[in-house]
Structures are given as C-alpha cells and as structure tokens.
Chains A and B, each alone.
Chain A
Amino acid sequence: MIAPEERLAATLARLILDPAAPPARHIAVGAASPIPAAACWLVKLMGHPVRLSLLHRRSGNPFTEGTRELFDLTGQGRIDLFFLGGGQIDGQANLNLVGTGEWPGMGVRFPGSFGSAFMYFMTPRTILFREEHSPRVLVEKVDNISAPGVSPPGVFRRGTAQALVTGRCVFRFHPERARFSLASLHPGETVESVREATGFAFDVPETVPQTPDPTEAELALLRGRVCDEMIETYPEFCRRVWGRSRAA
C-alpha cells in the first residue's frame, strides 16, 4: 500500500529535480510542511547534492542569527526553492493566507501570511502545495492577496509558482499567461472530477498522464532514513504515516 503522503512526497521530489526548472541547490522548508520536508529529504538521500535548511529544526538548526537569516539569504537569491500553501489559492496563483471576507480575514481567519509576501517574489521558484483540493480552497479569485502570483513588468521578482500539487492532481503554472494547466492526475481522479473540485478555470492538454507511483527505492527511503530524519520535527506525522514513534 502506498500512502497518499508518500505519493505526494515522491511527486514533489520529481518537481524539485525537474531539469527544466532552475537548479535547487539550497531549499528551505517552513514549519507546517511535513510532506515537502519528506520530499526534500528524499531528494537529498537519493544522493543529489542539495542543502536543506529546515526552519523549525530544534537541534542543529541551520540559522545562527535567528530566522531573519532565512530572509536575508533569500533576499540575496541564495535560497533556490521554497514551498508555500494557502487557505485560498486562485487561478492566477495568488495566495491568501490571511483569511476570507473583509481584511484582515473577518470571515474565516487563517493564521496569517508568514513570509509569503517576500519569499514568493525572491526565490527563483516556489512549489505550491495544499492537500485539500476543493472549491473552497482552489477559488476563482482569492478574497485577500497575501502574495500575488504574477507582478507587473518593472517590479523586481525572481520567480513564481512552478507547480501546484494537491491531493488530487499536479498543475503546472504558466506565469506568461497567469494560468494553470493540468499536468497529472492522482489515482482515482479524472479531468472531470478535478474540474468539479476546482473553483478556477485551467488548461487541459489532450492527454493527461497519471501521477506515477513512488518507486520501490523511494518508498524504502521514505519509510526508513527519511522518517529517521523527520521524527524530531514532525513526530505526529511520522506516527500517522509510518507508525513510528520517537522511542523506536
């Protein structure tokens, strides 16, 4: 049995390694991101030379000048890839982490924008990740913009979304036309089921492949050494997905 989290981690790992995208030499991973963290560890433990900076690692935290070091590194262009999500994500890859309704989230308040309004501009690429794929998350237009998907000419910006990975599919983002296209479907999904669950319009190529399964080697790494690396920072996740507790 392949757990959905394992498939998502392997899918993210393939996007990290996409030869068409700018190189990922240094990746930073935020707090509430166990699946992106698993994907990064998978890439690293497969032997690819990549530096991982895990913001919430308690022992061996990479930053010795406080968390502002992450933003200073990113400002200089020394973080190649970051992951972002959103309470709402729209068809132009705008992210809303603030909340629904009137500013500052008088409908449903989400935690807040964190570093998104900076990181989305200053990293050469961002992989958007949100497991819940429903019309309330993937909306036509976000109620509030924490971080815009595209910027007008003349505004300094190194990159934007490479892709959006959800529990149902993978979308590619095309900044030149500010639209998503469907790249692959997870098992059990169809173009129609994805369309029904998505509040924004997107492009669909003639044939849409299925998202590949993780390989045996990837699964073995995820269940072994990746879990070993993650258990301190994400104990709940490791228990839920791999049945491992810290004492083991």
Chain B
Amino acid sequence: MMLQSPDALAALIPDGALVAIPPDNSLPSVAIAKALIRRGARGLRLLGVPVSGFATDILIGAGCVAEVETSAVSLGEAGFAPRFSAALKEGRITVRDATCPAIHTMLQAAEKGVPFMPLRGLIGSDILANRPDWKVVPNPFAPAGEDPIVLLPAKQPDFAIFHAAMADAEGNVWLGRRRECATIAHASKAALVTVERIVEGSFLEDERLAPGAISATYVTATAIAERGAHPVALLDAYGFDQDYVSAYARAARTEEGFRAWLEAEVFAPAQKVAAE
C-alpha cells in the first residue's frame, strides 16, 4: 500500500506499539520518527537493531517512548545521546540492555517462527543477570549437565520502520546490502518504509536488484520521503550530516534547547508544507 506521506505511515502506529528501528549506519527512517513526534505518539517501546541513535533520541526527548531495548544508544562522533541519558536518569523510560547479537538472534527466532534460539557468550555478564526473560540451560547435545548456554525468546516487533532507496510499482523496496532491515521486516508483524522515489517495474524481475530487495510480502506500506534518512546516510546516495547531528547534540543538552530544536526541525517544516 502506497501512502501519501510519512505522517500517514506514523498514523498506522498506535500508542504502546513495539517498534524496531535500525541504527544510524543502517537506514533508520528519521522521517517516520519525526512524523511520530508530530502525531504525539505515546508509550512506544523501541527496539534498537541492534543499537540506537538519532531517531531514538528525538523520540525519547519528545516524550513518545516508555521503554527502550537496545545494545547501546549513541550519536557516534557527536557523543552520548542527551535525551536518552536525561530520560533514564529521571526515570521516565525503562531501559532493557542487551548485546548486539542477542537482538539479532531474537529477531531471527521470530523470522523462523520458533519460540527461542541459543546464543553463546553472555554468561557472567550483568546484562544476563538483569534479563529474567533470558534463560541458561545445559546444552542438550552435550554430556548431561555440561556446557551451559543462553536461550533467548523470539521477539516479534509490531512494526519495523526504516528507509530505503526506492520502491517499485509492486511495493517491493530496495536497500542494497543493509540486510538487517530485511531481518526486522521478516520478523515484524508489519513493516513501514519510507523511500526516496518510486520506480516502474519489479525489482524481483531484475537479477542484479533482487538480492538487495525486500519483497512486498513483508512491506505493509510505503511513502515517499525525500532525504528520509537525513541526517543519517543513505547508502551511496548521501552522507552522514555530522554538522546537523553535532548541532542537535549541543541543543539537546537541555530540555529547553531540545524543545526549540523540535519546533524548528520537526513542527515548523510540516506547518510550512501544510500552508503551501
């Protein structure tokens, strides 16, 4: 289904939904994050796949988020994520820490429709000690009682949201090698995808494009959002806007600074479009 705008995609996401978002090196849809802020979303549970960045920090700052499950939250060279840090300290969000491969593994279990998958490592980490939903069992294929291993439950997000380079006439999307977006699309109940443009034909009919495509089977709705990943990079199309993120990091050090940033970068541009 092709919708008119990122705001129309955001309208499909109810308050309290579990929303999977890729990190700043892998095509988050900042356009949908901004639209969720404009719609006044509340109580979202965000899953960083496997870590979180700019989109997560602005959603937290705008009060859209109740819980974050992730392996790290960072703005890269611009430093710690200021609104995440403030919300954690003030007790406004619940943070469930994980480690990167655990998040991939929980999603892969959901992709396969199995209830859990094992993962090495983790034993002796306080991450595990703080995850009552993760279990340690003896490897059933080892001699009795030997080789403890961690089992992780399948995790099925309500929504995957990400940005792709293009969609075709059949609703397939193309994003090249950033296949973690395919994993979250496969694992989630619905995937909402912003794209730079729509093209004729079908990626699945083109041997060179098919491996970087995600089939419309998994894609619930798309909308055009030009520069919809910005300030994050989009493949070889545009780079990471370091100045923009650094300016955000400075502004978002305080609640007032963040509010002013939101007004200028999230609310005002939409009002301008609406007025035109």
Q: How distant is B236 from chain A, measured CB to nearest CB, in Å? A: 7
**Cross-chain contact of A118 among B81, B99, B108 (Cβ < 8 A):** B99
Query: Taking A68-B101, A114-B99, A155-B148 as contacts, is the C-beta distance between A109 and B71 under 8 angstroms?
Result: no
Query: Taking A66-B179, A68-B180 as contacts, is the C-beta distance between A115 and B120 under 8 angstroms?
Result: no
Q: Mark B224-248, 1 if CB is under 8 A from A, else 0.
A: 0000000001001001001000000
User: Which chain A residues (58-73) contact chain B, with CB distance < 8 Å?
Assistant: 58-59, 61, 63-68, 71
Expressed in whole angstroms, the Cα–Cα distance for A71 and B99 within the complex equals 11
Is A148 in contact with chain B by the CB < 8 A criterion? yes
- Interface contact A113-B71, CB-CB below 8 Å: yes
- Interface contact A67-B180, CB-CB below 8 Å: yes
Is A129 in contact with chain B by the CB < 8 A criterion? no
- Interface contact A112-B25, CB-CB below 8 Å: no
Q: Mark B75-94, 1 if CB is under 8 A from A, else 0.
A: 01100110011001100000
- Interface contact A109-B80, CB-CB below 8 Å: yes
- Which residue among A68, A112, A151, A156 has the maximum number of chain B CB atoms within 10 Å of its CB? A112
Expressed in whole angstroms, the Cα–Cα distance for A146 and B71 within the complex equals 10
Instruction: For A113, list chain B residues within 8 Å (CB).
Output: 71-72, 97-99, 125, 127
Is A138 in contact with chain B by the CB < 8 A criterion? no
Query: Taking A59-B236, A64-B179 as contacts, is the C-beta distance between A71 and B80 under 8 angstroms?
Result: no
Instruction: For A120, list chain B residues within 8 Å (CB).
Output: 121
Q: How distant is B217 from chain A, measured CB to nearest CB, in Å? A: 18
Instruction: For A112, list chain B residues within 8 Å (CB).
Output: 51, 70-74, 97
Is B135 in contact with chain A by the CB < 8 A criterion? no
Is A21 in contact with chain B by the CB < 8 A criterion? no
Q: How distant is B48 from chain A, measured CB to nearest CB, in Å? A: 9
**Cross-chain contact of A122 among B25, B121, B177 (Cβ < 8 A):** B121
Tell me the nearest residue of chain A to B88, going by C-beta.
Answer: A109
Using CB atoms and an 8 Å cutoff, list the residues of chain A in contact with chain B.
Answer: 31-32, 55-56, 58-59, 61, 63-68, 71, 74-75, 97-98, 103-106, 109-122, 144-148, 151-152, 154-156, 235-236
Q: A61-B177, A106-B89, A236-B77 are in contact. List 17 more A-B contacts (CB 8 A).
A: A31-B25, A66-B177, A66-B179, A67-B104, A68-B101, A68-B183, A98-B126, A109-B89, A111-B80, A113-B72, A115-B50, A115-B101, A121-B121, A122-B121, A148-B124, A155-B123, A235-B242
Could you write out 14 A-B pairs with CB less than 8 Å apart? Answer: A55-B25, A71-B104, A104-B97, A109-B80, A111-B73, A112-B97, A113-B72, A113-B125, A146-B127, A147-B121, A148-B124, A154-B148, A156-B149, A236-B242
Please give me the 10 A-B residue pairs with the lowest Cβ-Cβ distance, nearest first.
A112-B72, A66-B180, A71-B101, A118-B121, A148-B124, A117-B99, A66-B179, A68-B104, A115-B100, A111-B74
